[in-house]
Amino acid sequence: MKFDKVTLDHGSGGKISHSLVADILLPIFDNPILADLHDGAILELKGNRLAFSTDSYTVDPIFFPGGHIGDLAINGTVNDIAMCGGNPLYLSVGMIIEEAFPMADLEKILAGMGAAARKAGVAVVTGDTKVVPKGAADKIFINTSGIGLIPDHVDIGSTKARVGDRIILSGTIADHGVTILTQREGLTFESTLTTESAPLNHMVSDMVALKGSVHVLRDPTRGGVGTALNELAQKSDVGIKIVEKNIPVKPEVASICELLGFDPLYLANEGKLLASREIFDGRVVRLSVDRVRLPNGAATELEMIR
């Protein structure tokens, strides 16, 4: 599909968003590191391997049950580094703030970012602040970038999933997406849903301690679990067989999705990860999804089984 103008779909994390990156951005900046299209870049520097990632946050509303744009920004970049197998160490924070933004809200956001950084065990070491005229931005935008060290024994990449691996998921899906959606649209349900934004680096550290067992890590944020699995299958040239009944969805999330016509597989998640690994370890995760090479060899096909 060709577009004359950028649309909201270009930032959704789905097929149109992927096309923007693959068809326009990648040819301009093309290099082997970027071409991997992973959650972050894996860099070699004087005998060390570094994970580097950057992300920008424009969530609306900026405050929501269970968190806000600030802790989301810290956790998001921490998790992108962790998905490269890295131990996050240092972050930068850049903020674009709309004129007349309440100082009390800014202080609350910054306090939450500090708490999130301490929980993840990272330090915010540099940053930048810009204030734009009222109406030139939507309240506050935050960018976080980060670096971390990758242990020598870790070999994780978007192309490394293998036939016979198990895809494992660390929790229920679509909680964050439904929480943000209902808050943004002012929808009221009898629900106690909150976002589950959280740092995943400590969990990843435990997982990669089992040397050689983890091949791919992804956090299914924008585009959800379905998009992340499609990308995994495409990059690793394997098929994925999903046992739908085994995917954990909270009853209230399933009910809201059914009412509003959304597929929870394609709604955003926070604080959850997907891993392709050889050994299923129920101590670390709660879901196993069978993976097989499909007979027709289609790399991105998902076979749904009810």
pLDDT tens digits, one per residue of 234-287: 888 888 877 777 788 999 999 999 999 999 999 999 999 988 877 544 333 333
pLDDT band at 212 (very low <50, low <70, confident <90, very high): low
Tell me the sheet residues that pair with 91.
Answer: 124, 146
Lowest mean pLDDT, pick from 83-87, 100-104, 170-174, 302-306: 302-306
Q: Is the pLDDT of residue 211 over 80?
A: no
How far is the CA of 208 from the CAs of 9, 83, 171, in angstroms? Answer: 35, 11, 18
What is the pTM assigned to this prediction?
Answer: 0.86
The stretch 126-150 carries a mean pLDDT of 97
Residue 38: how many other CB atoms lie within 10 Å: 23
Q: Which two tokens stand for residue 259?
A: 């009412």
For residues 195-204, give the mean pLDDT: 92
Q: pLDDT band at 1, cuts 50/70/90?
A: low
Q: Which helix (H) or strand (E) holds 109?
A: helix 103-120
- Give the helix/strand (H/E) hosting 35: helix 32-35
Say which range, 8-17, 130-139, 150-159, 243-252, has the weakest mean pLDDT: 8-17
More confident residue, 194 or 108: 108
Shortest CA distance to 210 belongs to which of 158, 155, 247?
155
Residue pLDDT, tens place only, 30-86:
898 888 877 799 999 988 999 999 999 999 999 999 999 999 999 999 999 999 999
Taking alpha carbons only, the member of 67, 94, 79, 6 closest to residue 40 is 79
Is-cis flag, bond preceding 102, omega within 30?
no
Residue 77 near residue 91 (C-beta atoms within 8 A): yes
